[in-house]
Amino acid sequence: MKVGRIQTLKVNRISDYGLYLVDDEGGEVLLPNRYVSLNNAVGDQIEVFVYHDSEDRLVATTERPLITEGQVASLKVVDKSIHGAFLDWGLAGKDLFLPNRNQQGGVLPGRSYLVWMYIDNVTGRCVATQKLKAFIDNDVITVEPRQKVDIVVASESPIGYRAIINSRHWGMIYKNQIFQPIAIGDRLEGYVRRITEDNRLDLSLRREGYDGVASSADVLLKLLRDSGGELPIGDDSSPEEVHRLTQMSKKVFKRAVGMLMKSGDIVAEPQHIKLR
């Protein structure tokens, strides 16, 4: 039974309290009635998240937590005790524990913090930590240039935003590559732009190359349709005006316009584009 993970288990038996699900090794866990459908039957396969409830019993839920074992997420502090803090991880009636020993500088209720989730060796329970250095590094890179990745924004600097990639590596999104509002804690889709010789990872929030142009062309086409078939921007428009209306850089906008003109979808003038 994989505590802290989403997994598919088989209905083994039905009780007054819910369904007992079984893994391949015969271990059972209860899926309480509030998550059970009248259509469920013995032998059904159900995707669940397994964790310990407030009474330290192993239990399953069909709810999806905001974080699972081996992942990073930004979670809000909902309560504190002398032993630590409790984080909202998206499960009703149960919070994720952040012990005092795993905090960095203390935490405040109502604020969100980046944490990693692991399974405690002694209790077997899901636990959070703010001490990410033991889990996030660039010693051995597991991604490639142009690869689509999961990004969690970690901190801001004068040149851009430091981010965590696939809950494994550190990367940087430079401010001249950002064409949408982002904030600390945001989880985004991104792409690896470059891997340097010293294993630094540069990121982009937009796909580059032909696929990226095609995606931007689709966005621009939708904007035109939503705006009645025309937009007051073109090749002579300022980069600021292009970005204000499309959330694209001038360079990406021009490439998207070129693709749509080639396909015959639009007509472009120096300060105006419209559907054909």
In degrees, to the nearest 5, what angle opens at C-alpha 140 toward C-alphas 138 and 145?
80
End position of a domain, from candidates 204, 226, 241? 204
E strands, 137-242, are 148-157, 160-165, 169-174, 187-195, 201-204, 230-231
| 142, part of any domain | no
**Per-position pLDDT tens, the chain of length 276:** 899 999 999 999 999 999 999 999 999 999 999 999 888 899 999 999 999 988 889 999 999 999 999 999 999 999 999 999 999 999 988 999 999 999 998 899 999 999 999 999 998 999 999 999 999 999 999 999 989 999 999 999 999 999 999 999 999 999 877 877 899 999 999 999 999 999 999 998 887 654 556 678 888 888 888 989 889 998 888 888 888 888 777 888 888 888 888 888 888 888 889 898
| 31, part of any domain | yes
The answer on 219 and 182 residing in a single domain is no
* Number of domains forming the structure of the chain: 4
| 99, part of any domain | yes
E strands, the chain, are 6-15, 18-22, 28-32, 45-52, 58-61, 72-80, 84-88, 96-99, 112-119, 126-129, 148-157, 160-165, 169-174, 187-195, 201-204, 230-231, 266-269, 272-275
Domain assignment of residue 38, given as a range: 6-61
Measure Cα distances from 206 to 5, 159, 184, 212, 229 in Å.
30, 18, 18, 7, 25
The answer on 169 and 215 residing in a single domain is no
d(CA 137, CA 191): 18
End position of a domain, from candidates 35, 61, 87? 61
| 67, part of any domain | no
The answer on 200 and 217 residing in a single domain is no
Give Cβ neighbours of residue 173 (< 8 Å, ≥ 6 apart).
151, 153, 160, 161, 163, 182, 190, 203, 204, 205
The answer on 228 and 198 residing in a single domain is no
| 51, part of any domain | yes
The answer on 123 and 89 residing in a single domain is yes
The answer on 217 and 198 residing in a single domain is no
How do strand 6-15 and strand 96-99 relate by DSSP bridges?
unpaired
d(CA 273, CA 135): 49
pLDDT of residue 54: 84
The answer on 239 and 198 residing in a single domain is no
The answer on 262 and 218 residing in a single domain is yes
The answer on 270 and 216 residing in a single domain is yes
Count of C-beta atoms within a 10 Å radius of residue 248? 22
For residue 15, the SS3 value is: strand
| 246, part of any domain | yes
CATH number at residue 164: 2.40.50.140
| 226, part of any domain | yes
Pure H helices in 123-268 = 209-226, 239-246, 250-262
pLDDT of residue 83: 95
| 13, part of any domain | yes
State the burial class of residue 263 (Cβ atoms within 10 Å of its Cβ: 0-12, 13-18, 19+).
exposed
The answer to whether 89 and 74 are in contact (CB under 8 A) is: no
Backbone Cα Rg of the chain: 24
Strand partners for 72:
116
The answer on 260 and 244 residing in a single domain is yes
CATH number at residue 271: 1.10.10.10
The answer on 199 and 217 residing in a single domain is no
The answer on 98 and 50 residing in a single domain is no
